[in-house]
Amino acid sequence: MKKKITLLSLSMALFLLPIQSLAYTINNEFNLGAYEGDSRLASQDYIILHETGNLREPSARNEATYMRNNWRNAYTTDIVGDGGIVYRVGQWGYVSWGALNANPYAPVQIELEHTTNKTKFNLNYKAYIDLTRDAAKTYNIPLTLDGAGRGIKTHWWVTQNYGGDHVDPYGYLAQMGISKAQLQHDLLYGVGETSSPSEPSNPSKPTVTDPTTAGSHYSVLTDSKGNFAHVDQYGIKGSQLIARGWHIANYKYEYIFIIDQRTGKELVRVKANGGSRPDVNQAYKTNGNVGYNVSFNASQFKGRRVIVMQRATNDPSGNTKGGHQDFYETRWYHDIK
């Protein structure tokens, strides 16, 4: 086990540390001690979001006490509650035990206290968002929510991709008036903000003569299960928004979605008939018609910033029944005028 570097040697007065002008303070009273917790460094792929799910509504401090005393069973790095306090348990950067087989990929895992007090929730939620954004910035993790590759993941996403039965925090957030789209917006820009001046997580459009061929500037999308995809061309041609590329995943159907980049909301989807891509088949030692070439009436997206999501699925309607695999191309957007 590692010897942890903590603030426990400081005076009790330093247990609460204000973080600049943000909406939270960090309480280090419940830090795991030397030689406690996992000694492995986590790979810097995910920030995982949880909700405590304790309907008896204890304080977040009580939750932190329990986690500190029972860390051999499970623990996360942080619990947010009691009006915007961050109770630090596990040390950032190391594996914590809150998300089964996804644990080794998350240097930070954050719990949100379950409360029905709306005022308390609002303070907790802002701290939850600010802490997540800070953690993502620390490890250069994209502020994308539950997409493919590196990014911010919920425990629901972990269940979909690694197993288990947890679906938090979406149910609780919905009860408190926060949709998935709102959560994605707040992660991108902060609570109560409509935009971010620097937009550090936003993709940038490469400078090319034909914007629909800009896909060559981006690497192939991949995930931990050996699926691959690439958007080769994406942009306006005449009155059409076109998307062309390929997707390797062992499912029956391919759907291409246009997503509002700012809200994460699906705008439209279309079933893609497979296209022949012998170059891809040869490179990835696969077979079948893995290509796609689709188009949409661009006028329906006027005033929006749009990205592509590729879904391989066993559901003929393009939903997720029977299994699916998604890739979001968040690095490349178009503003439709």
Q: Residue 70: its pLDDT value, please?
A: 97
Which among 329, 147, 174 is positioned nearest to 245, based on CA atoms?
Answer: 329
- H/E element, 144: none
Domain edge (last residue) among 154, 189, 224: 189
258 located within any domain = yes
132/259 same-domain check:
no
- Between the alpha carbon of residue 236 and those of residues 233, 240, 242, the distances in Å are 10, 6, 6
Angle between helices 180-189 and 118-138 (to 10 degrees): 50
- 260 occurs within a structural domain: yes
CA dihedral angle for residue 291, residue 295, residue 300, residue 301, rounded to 10 degrees? 50
Dihedral of the alpha carbons of 197, 131, 40, 5, in degrees to the nearest 10: 110
Residues 174 and 268 in one domain: no
Q: What is the pTM (predicted TM-score) of this model? A: 0.56
CA distances from 149 to 82, 92, 128, 325 (A): 33, 20, 22, 11
* pLDDT single digits (tens) 101-118: 999 999 999 999 999 999
- CATH number of 130's domain: 3.40.80.10
Same domain for 27 and 159, yes or no, is yes
Neighbour count for residue 93 (Cβ, 10 Å) = 13
Do the domain assignments include residue 20? yes
Q: Does residue 197 belong to any structural domain of this protein?
A: no
Q: Note the pLDDT of residue 245.
A: 92
Residue 45 shares a structural domain with residue 152: yes
Same domain, 290 and 233: yes
Tell me if 185 is assigned to some domain: yes
The average pLDDT across 27-33 equals 95
**What is the domain count for the chain?**
2
161 and 215: one domain? no
Residues across the chain: 337
Q: What is the pLDDT of residue 239?
A: 93
Cis geometry, peptide bond prior to residue 206 (ω within 30 degrees of 0): no
Which CATH number is 216's domain given? 2.60.40
Q: What is the pLDDT of residue 330?
A: 81
Of the two residues 124 and 22, the one the predictor is more confident about is: 124
Q: Please tell me the distance from the alpha carbon of residue 215 to that of residue 234, in angstroms, as a whole number.
A: 7
Does 204 reside within a domain?
no
| pLDDT (0 to 100) of residue 281 | 86
Q: Are 80 and 63 in contact (CB under 8 A)?
A: no
Q: Which of 189, 224, 252 is the last residue of a domain?
A: 189
Last residue of a domain, one of 189, 220, 243: 189
Name the residue range of residue 292's domain: 211-335
Residues 185 and 235 in one domain: no
Helices (H), 241-293: 278-284
Q: Is residue 201 part of a domain?
A: no
Nearest of 203, 313, 236 to residue 269 by alpha carbon: 313
3-state secondary structure of 112: strand
Structure confidence by residue, pLDDT tens digits, 132-164: 999 998 888 989 999 888 899 999 999 999 988
Element (H, E) at 78: strand 78-81
208-224 pLDDT, tens digit per residue, is 446 666 666 677 888 87
- Determine, yes or no, domain membership for 195: no
Assess whether 162 and 256 both reside in one domain: no
180 and 296, same domain (yes or no):
no
pLDDT value at position 222? Answer: 84
CA distance 52 to 147: 23
- 153 lies in the same domain as 222: no
Q: Are strands 16-18 and 25-27 parallel, antiparallel or unpaired?
A: antiparallel
150 and 275 within one domain:
no
Tell me, yes or no, whether 32 and 146 share the same domain: yes
Q: Which of 17, 18, 20, 27 is nearest to 63 (CA)?
A: 27
